[in-house]
Structure 1
Amino acid sequence: MTPSGGGGPSAVPLGRRSPCRDPFRRQGPLNRPLGRRGPVQATRSVVGSGVGAGVSGRWRGRKEARTKADLVRAVARRHAGHIEALRERALAAAGDSTDVRDWVDCLVRPVTEHLASLGSPTWYARFCAQVMTDPALHEIMVEESLASPALREAVERLNRTLGELPPEVRAERGQMVRLLILHTCAERERALAEGTPTPRATWDEVATGLADAIVGLWLAPVGTARRAANR
């Protein structure tokens, strides 16, 4: 995620280093729209503010597309370093465990610990949820995730503990896990920002609830053959 250099509308501040803990809190008017309205509308506001009326719509569209991708990469990378460090620590704590839950914790807790460290309100989880609904931006987020050695190791170690699952079941449950983590965190983040009640009091408790559900999901019996036999 390399933000464009130089001046103009593509030189957004999200890719720069800042002493503040949460890049959505104090880095200008773009931050809240990213989480609340998504990268598409937020990017249009950035491009629109920096592009004169005499510039063609075709150029504006290309500029918007580039800026949107740059924003997503910059934001994801801004948060990735801390999450990576937390996941490396979790991996070290898990050691040579053969317990599914230990490796599920390696997936879940670095995310919730990072969100907890940002204070409140934050917009990062909602930003990720928005981005993952856009096909092009989804690919960017997947690419950035695969660049994490700690995440790859956590997934590999988890797979070793799961026994033999049919490939289609493994893929399907992996998608379910991703969505469960993503949207549970986004929903809690929204509730905290709006001051509405949440099922869990802390992010640590959220991680426990997520791990409970995900372990159950991974270890659930595969019932396709039984259902087919009963038809």
Structure 2
Amino acid sequence: MTLSETAATISPRSALARDKLMHTAERLYAEHGFANVSIRRIGEEAGQRNKSVVQYHFSTRDDLIHAILDRHMAAIEKHRISMVAALGEPGALSLRDWITCVVQPSIEHHIDLGTPSWYGRFLAQTVVEPTLREYTIQAHLKMPSFRRIEELGYPYGPDLDRELVVQQGAMIRQLIVHMSAELEADLASGRADHAAAERSWRRLGDNLITAIYGLSSSLLGERR
């Protein structure tokens, strides 16, 4: 069931309970890791007396995590769709445009979340957790905005070694996900200035675009 379908079929009270559980789970997982947070603890810290409240609303731990991921991806998708819509006609997409469309929507979402936030550290765990990794990767790649980017001019042509392309994608994913988690952790701990959080996120976005552009240019043989 999608987020929109869920919202259309549950009561306002249930929606509030689900929202509280999702926010609580995201924070706990980000701060303590999946292995150190029980379903029961999530319910207790969300202020729920029913010991089976998480199972009632989400069935399983992984269903809860999927719901958290889907909510964030929907927010990121709004940013990327608007960026892609402004790019113009097919064939007009430069390599730097493509990289910016991959990186910047996530940066904008982190800025929207404010400080403190937990999504960056939460996401960093899902991409290395065996039972969640494939879902997380495929859910991102199947976003409509990514399909639109391909239509406008995907930079990796059929002549390139597909193994290298896959490795390049993994490098890009690791840079975006784990550098975002690092900055989020620094902001949460006070190692980075809360008052300058937006500036820090935008600087990270610029640095990620520059770094990924260098990696991609090398793979593409300086193709623009």
State the TM bucket, normalised to the shorter chain.
0.7 to 0.9
Call closer, same or farther: CA 1:113–1:82 in 2, change over 3 Å: same
The answer to whether the 8 Å contact 1:112/1:204 transfers is yes
Q: Aligned ranges for residues 95-174 of structure 1 at < 5 Å?
A: 95-96=88-89, 97-154=92-149, 157=152, 159-160=154-155, 164-174=159-169
Call closer, same or farther: CA 1:48–1:77 in 2, change over 3 Å: closer
- Residue 208 of structure 2 aligns with an amino acid whose one-letter code is L
Call closer, same or farther: CA 1:115–1:222 in 2, change over 3 Å: closer
Q: Structure 2 regions of 5+ residues with no counterpart?
A: 45-49
Call closer, same or farther: CA 1:37–1:12 in 2, change over 3 Å: farther
Matched with 1:70 is 63
Aligned-residue RMSD, C-alpha:
3.5
Call closer, same or farther: CA 1:90–1:185 in 2, change over 3 Å: same
The answer to whether the 8 Å contact 1:43/1:67 transfers is no
TM-score calculated relative to the size of structure 2? 0.74
Shift of 1:222: 7.8
TM-score calculated relative to the size of structure 1? 0.72
Matched with 1:188 is 183
The answer to whether the 8 Å contact 2:156/2:220 transfers is no
User: What secondary structure, in the 3-state scheme, does the structure 2 residue paired with 1:165 have?
Assistant: coil
- Residue 133 of structure 1 aligns with an amino acid whose one-letter code is V
More helix by percentage: 2
Q: Aligned ranges for residues 1-231 of structure 1 at < 5 Å?
A: 15-16=18-19, 24=23, 29-46=24-41, 50-51=50-51, 67-96=60-89, 97-154=92-149, 157=152, 159-160=154-155, 164-197=159-192, 201-221=199-219
For 1:48 and 1:197, locate their aligned partners in 2 and report how far apart those are by CA, in whole Å.
31
Call closer, same or farther: CA 1:121–1:68 in 2, change over 3 Å: same
Report sequence identity in percent: 31
Q: Which has the larger radius of gyration?
A: 1
For 1:143 and 1:221, locate their aligned partners in 2 and report how far apart those are by CA, in whole Å.
23
Matched with 1:57 is none
Q: Structure 1 regions of 5+ residues with no counterpart?
A: 53-61, 224-231
For 1:142 and 1:14, locate their aligned partners in 2 and report how far apart those are by CA, in whole Å.
28
The answer to whether the 8 Å contact 1:87/1:110 transfers is yes
For 1:192 and 1:110, locate their aligned partners in 2 and report how far apart those are by CA, in whole Å.
19
CA deviation vs aligned residue, 1:104-162 (integer Å, no higher than 9, x gap): 00000000000001110100010000111111111221232244111233356453466
Instruction: Please say which of residues 68-77 and 119-128 is displaced more in the overlay.
Output: 68-77
For 2:97 and 2:120, locate their aligned partners in 1 and report how far apart those are by CA, in whole Å.
23
Call closer, same or farther: CA 1:158–1:108 in 2, change over 3 Å: farther
